């Protein structure tokens, strides 16, 4: 597809310029905004009060939406506790609307108060986001945001946008900053450019593992009048693993039986089920070996050996909402501490190296951005309670955020409630260990904006998901890397044809035994490092015939703490932790 050339003009007082643009994605990823989208760059630190310093403004559009991105200089929540107000002259007439900076603003909206006004020939109308289709991202605190506004909106019988040109202005009514400082920015809409739907596949491919997270709104799954609606949704999604939140008054067995009634099992199949925490239930086509309660959230060890030759560690979470930042952070810290311990020998659970790790759920991330950072990077805030930071993926990297887009919609929102003053946003997530999992397909299953032929093909109705819950199901399809597997005779991890066993005893003082296996003649290296990567000792660095080996590591001259021992041959590397306590 040819990219349309964009020419943008800035009106400062009486200067005017216009241009064309193309669709953006409101997905918390700003990489699709370019310098050609920049319509204004404000002076630095020119506010009178407070920390909000309005900066750059980018703008784009297609036939459906006006998009813009805004820098604010301080980490804030756009929908809380601020007086950032946008003014749009939607008919390009200074003589109509609210007079501000020499423009006639027909649309006024204050983000932190979640209210605004529409000025038309029939009078002034108080509005919230739903009247003009506003969606912003992210829902967590940030120094930059992106916003979409629906161009064909109608308020009190009046079209909101009546011209292919607009004037635009942002003011912080508390701090006094304005962008532009005087006058306004002008922009020419691109109504001939149509949004192209994201490339998603509703039907699951046979070799994919489909995981779905779904907050079903206080047992709505069992409301009899919604049974057919749920049936249409669940049957179409047809997941291998359903991670449900907000099932309080029904058991996991009842949930599995309901799923069975909507997605009947074939010969040899069944729906396995387990509950953990007050409202967390997982239903799976694969056996659930164990479930764990993590401060009210749930972890499930799922046996997928039959198809993928590994277990999967799934965490389904529903931390507290809204202003409960401290409690939410503690629960997320606890989840990440559980993951850290699962990767380390000992504790409640230890999984073999390379076990896929997935964290899903209604995370209620509407407060500090740090909470999402903790999940992705392992940066634990309450270290005195939950231990040290760590890298959550097996290759000592971050977890990956699937960042799914809604079906036929340029937004990554997963929560939608027209009755709320809060605009739709992304509250439901799927994070995963990218070193051993490949995301092949993902989407937010939003029937309200699906194409009519798609709805008809799957027997769906436009309002199915908004009738079922205020949350929208998030779907992710994975393939699993084959580089890691489990031996039939041991629970120890192997890479290619090597086995590195956990040292014994562990913890130890002052010595411990390290065992490893080489099934065929190979050049191998066995080394011990401290946590800073400093080499402590090299035991083996030579060709070894097939066989089982062991060495004794003596830590007499070392300080207490964790040490890493590593077995390497060619490109294959196995590592484990051991703990010296004196």
Tell me the per-residue pLDDT of 201-217, one tens digit each, with 9 for 90 and over: 999 998 899 999 999 99
Q: Per DSSP, what are the bridge partners of residue 512?
A: 553
Question: 425 and 136 in contact (C-beta within 8 Å)?
Answer: yes
pLDDT tens sequence across 284-319:
999 999 999 999 999 999 999 989 889 999 999 999
66, 187, 198, 440, 554 from 210: Cα distances, Å: 34, 43, 18, 10, 47
Question: 499 and 487 in contact (C-beta within 8 Å)?
Answer: yes
Per residue of the chain (582 residues), what is the pLDDT tens digit? 333 222 233 333 333 334 434 578 899 989 889 898 999 999 999 899 999 999 999 999 998 999 999 999 999 999 999 999 999 999 999 999 999 999 999 999 999 999 999 999 889 999 999 999 999 999 999 999 999 999 999 999 999 999 999 999 999 999 999 999 988 999 999 866 677 666 789 999 988 999 999 999 999 999 999 999 999 999 999 999 999 999 999 999 999 999 999 999 999 899 999 999 899 999 999 999 999 999 999 999 999 998 988 999 999 999 999 989 999 999 999 999 999 999 998 878 999 999 999 999 999 999 999 999 999 999 999 999 999 999 999 989 999 999 999 998 999 999 999 899 999 999 999 999 999 999 999 999 999 999 999 999 999 999 999 999 999 999 999 998 743 333 333 333 333 456 888 888 988 899 999 988 887 778 889 999 887 778 899 999 888 887 788 899 999 889 888 888 888 876 567 778 888 988
Q: Give residue 508's Cα distance to chain centre.
A: 40
CB atoms within 10 A of CB 150: 18
18, 24, 28, 79 from 31: Cα distances, Å: 23, 10, 9, 23
pLDDT tens sequence across 36-59:
899 999 999 989 999 999 999 999
In order, the DSSP letters of 129-148 are GGGGT-EEE-SS-EEEEEEE
Phi, psi of 166 (to 5 degrees): -135, 160
Residue 246 region by backbone torsions, left for phi larger than 0, else alpha for psi between -120 and 50, else beta: left
**Token code pair at residue 136:** 């912003």
**Token code pair at residue 408:** 């036929």
CA-to-CA distance for 511 and 404, rounded, in angstroms? Answer: 49
CA-to-CA distance for 228 and 231, rounded, in angstroms? Answer: 5
In order, the DSSP letters of 390-417 are ---STTS---EE--PPBTTSSB---B--
Each residue of 183-208: b (16+ CB within 10 Å) or e?
A: bbbbbbbbeebebebbebebebeeeb
pLDDT tens sequence across 485-519:
333 333 333 334 568 888 889 888 999 999 888 87
pLDDT tens sequence across 453-473:
999 999 999 999 999 999 999
CA-to-CA distance for 515 and 50, rounded, in angstroms? Answer: 61
CA-to-CA distance for 332 and 325, rounded, in angstroms? Answer: 10
CA-to-CA distance for 170 and 110, rounded, in angstroms? Answer: 10
- pTM of the predicted protein model: 0.80
Q: How deeply is 422 buried, as exposed, middle or buried, from its count of CB atoms within 10 A (0-12, 13-18, 19+)?
A: middle
- Dmax (CA) of the chain: 89
């Amino acid at each position: 597809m040819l990219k349309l050339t964009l020419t943008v003009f800035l009106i400062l007082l009486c200067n005017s310029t216009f241009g064309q643009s193309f669709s953006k994605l409101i997905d918390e990823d700003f990489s699709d905004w370019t310098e050609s989208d920049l319509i204004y760059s404000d002076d630095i630190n020119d506010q009178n009060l407070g920390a909000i310093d309005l900066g750059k403004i980018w703008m784009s559009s297609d036939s459906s939406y006006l998009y813009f991105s805004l820098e604010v200089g301080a980490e804030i929540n756009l929908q809380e506790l601020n007086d950032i107000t946008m003014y749009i002259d939607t008919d390009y007439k200074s003589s109509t609307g609210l007079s501000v900076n020499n423009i006639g603003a027909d649309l006024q909206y204050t983000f932190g108060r979640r209210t605004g006004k529409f000025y038309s020939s029939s009078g002034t109308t108080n509005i919230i986001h739903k009247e003009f289709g506003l969606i912003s991202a992210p829902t967590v605190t940030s120094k930059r945001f992106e916003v979409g506004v629906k161009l064909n909106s109608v308020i009190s019988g009046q079209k909101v946008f009546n011209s292919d040109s607009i004037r635009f202005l942002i003011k912080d009514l508390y701090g006094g900053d304005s962008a532009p400082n005087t006058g306004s920015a002008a922009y020419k809409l691109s109504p001939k450019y149509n949004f192209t739907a994201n490339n998603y596949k509703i039907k699951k491919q046979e070799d994919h593992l489909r995981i779905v997270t779904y907050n079903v709104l206080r047992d709505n799954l069992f409301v009899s009048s919604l049974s057919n609606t749920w049936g249409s949704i669940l049957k179409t999604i047809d997941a291998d693993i359903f991670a449900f939140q907000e099932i309080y008054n029904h058991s996991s067995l009842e949930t599995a039986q309901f799923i069975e009634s909507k997605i009947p099992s074939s010969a040899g199949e069944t729906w396995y089920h387990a509950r953990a925490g007050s409202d967390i239930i997982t239903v799976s086509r694969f056996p659930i070996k164990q479930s764990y309660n993590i401060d009210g959230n749930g972890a499930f060890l799922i046996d997928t050996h039959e198809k993928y030759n590994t277990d999967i560690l799934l965490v389904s979470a529903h931390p507290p909402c809204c202003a409960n930042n401290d409690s939410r952070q503690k629960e997320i810290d606890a989840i990440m501490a559980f993951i850290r311990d699962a990767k380390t020998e000992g504790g409640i659970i230890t999984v073999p190296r390379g076990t896929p790790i997935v964290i899903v759920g209604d995370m209620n991330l509407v407060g500090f951005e740090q909470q999402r950072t903790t999940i992705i990077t392992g940066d634990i805030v309450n270290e005195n309670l939950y231990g040290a930071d760590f890298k959550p993926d097996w290759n000592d990297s971050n977890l990956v955020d699937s960042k799914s887009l809604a079906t036929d919609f340029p937004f990554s929102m997963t929560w939608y409630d027209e009755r709320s003053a809060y605009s739709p946003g992304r509250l439901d997530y799927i994070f995963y260990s990218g070193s051993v999992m490949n995301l092949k397909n993902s989407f937010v299953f939003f029937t309200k904006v699906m194409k009519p032929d798609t709805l008809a093909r799957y027997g769906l109705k436009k309002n199915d998901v908004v009738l079922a819950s205020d949350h929208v199901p998030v779907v992710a399809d994975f393939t699993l890397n084959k580089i890691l597997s489990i031996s039939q005779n041991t629970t120890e991890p192997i890479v290619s044809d090597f086995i590195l066993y956990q040292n014994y005893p562990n913890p130890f003082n002052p010595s411990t035994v390290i065992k490893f296996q080489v099934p065929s003649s190979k050049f191998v290296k066995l080394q011990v490092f401290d946590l800073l990567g400093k080499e402590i000792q090299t035991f083996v660095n030579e060709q070894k015939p097939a066989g089982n080996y062991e060495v004794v590591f003596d830590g007499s001259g070392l300080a207490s703490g964790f040490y890493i021992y590593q077995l390497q041959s060619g490109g294959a590397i196995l590592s484990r932790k051991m703990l010296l306590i004196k």
